[in-house]
Structure 1
C-alpha cells in the first residue's frame, strides 16, 4: 500500500512540476507584453507555487516509508495531498487565466470554482501534512528511544558517521 501511495505522490509531483514549469510561459508573455501587474502576479504565483508543490510531493514520496502511521492513514494522507495539489493546480492556473484570485468568493461560476478549489486544497493539504507530521514525530521519538536503550547519546550520528578505516 505504501509503495502505491508513494508512486501516486511521485507521479502527481512530476506532472504538477511540469505544469508549474509550463506556467512560466504565460508569465514571461505577461511580462513582455506589459500586462497589468495583477496578471503578472497571478502567473508568478502559479509558476512558483506549482513548481514548489511538485517538488514537495517528490520529496515526500520516497520518505513515506519512515512515517509511522497505519497504512490506511498513509494512503489517506497521500490521497489527500494528491487531491489538494490538483485542486491548487486548477485554482492557480484557471485563476491566473481568468483573473480570479481564489481567496474570496466572487461572483460568477469561474470565481466560485476557483475559490472552492483553492479552499479544498488548503483544507486537504493541512490535514494531510498534520497526519504525516504526527507519523514523523512518532518515528523520531522511537528512533531516539531505541538509541537511548542502546547506549547512544545521539542515535542519528551513528547512522551518518563516516566509515572507520581499518588496517
Structure 2
C-alpha cells in the first residue's frame, strides 16, 4: 500500500476516534437535559465525524488503484486530512461555545467555528475534485 493511503488511514482513525468520543458529551447533554441546540450539536459531531472518517477509509482503499501521479494522490490525501481536522475543530467547538458556525458574523467563537467549517468544506471540495480527476484519468 502506498504511503499516501497509509497516511489517509492513520488520520481517518484519529478522526473516527474523536467522533466516537463525542458520544460521551452527547450522552451527558441528553442526561442533564441540556438545551436542544447543545444536544443537536453533539449529535452532529458524533455522527458526522465517523462518517467523514469512513469516507477517508474508503478513499484510502481505492487510492492505490488510481493511475495518476503521486502528487495527485497526495493532493487527495492532504485535502481530506485537512478537511477532517477542520470539521473536528468546528464540530467540537460548536457545542461548547453555542454557535453553529454558518456565518462569519458574531463573536470570535462563532467566527472560529465558521472558519473550521469553511476549512472542512473547501478542502473536502478540493479533495473531491482531485478524486474525480484521478478516477477519470484511471478509466
The structure having more radius of gyration, on CA atoms, is 1
Deviations 1:19-64 (A, max 9, x none): 1000011111111111111111100000100010111111111210
How far apart, CA to CA, are the structure 2 residues paired with 1:63 and 1:90?
A: 27
Q: Does the 8 Å contact 1:67/1:132 carry over to 2? A: no
Question: What RMSD, in angstroms, separates the aligned Cα atoms of the two structures?
Answer: 1.3
Q: Which residue of 2 aligns with 1:21?
A: 20
Q: Does the 8 Å contact 1:102/1:115 carry over to 2? A: yes
Which structure has more relative contact order (CA 8 Å, sep 6+)? It is: 2
How far apart, CA to CA, are the structure 1 residues paired with 2:105 and 2:43?
A: 21
Q: Does the 8 Å contact 1:24/1:43 carry over to 2? A: yes
Q: Which residue of 2 aligns with 1:103?
A: 102
For structure 1, which segment, 68-77 or 8-17, has the greater mean C-alpha deviation from structure 2 after superposition? 68-77
- Normalised by the length of structure 2, the TM-score is 0.93
Regions of 4+ moved over 4 Å: none
- Give the gaps of 5 or more residues in structure 1: 142-167
Q: Does the 8 Å contact 2:19/2:45 carry over to 1? A: yes
Q: Which residue of 2 aligns with 1:3?
A: 2
1:119 aligned onto 2:118: yes
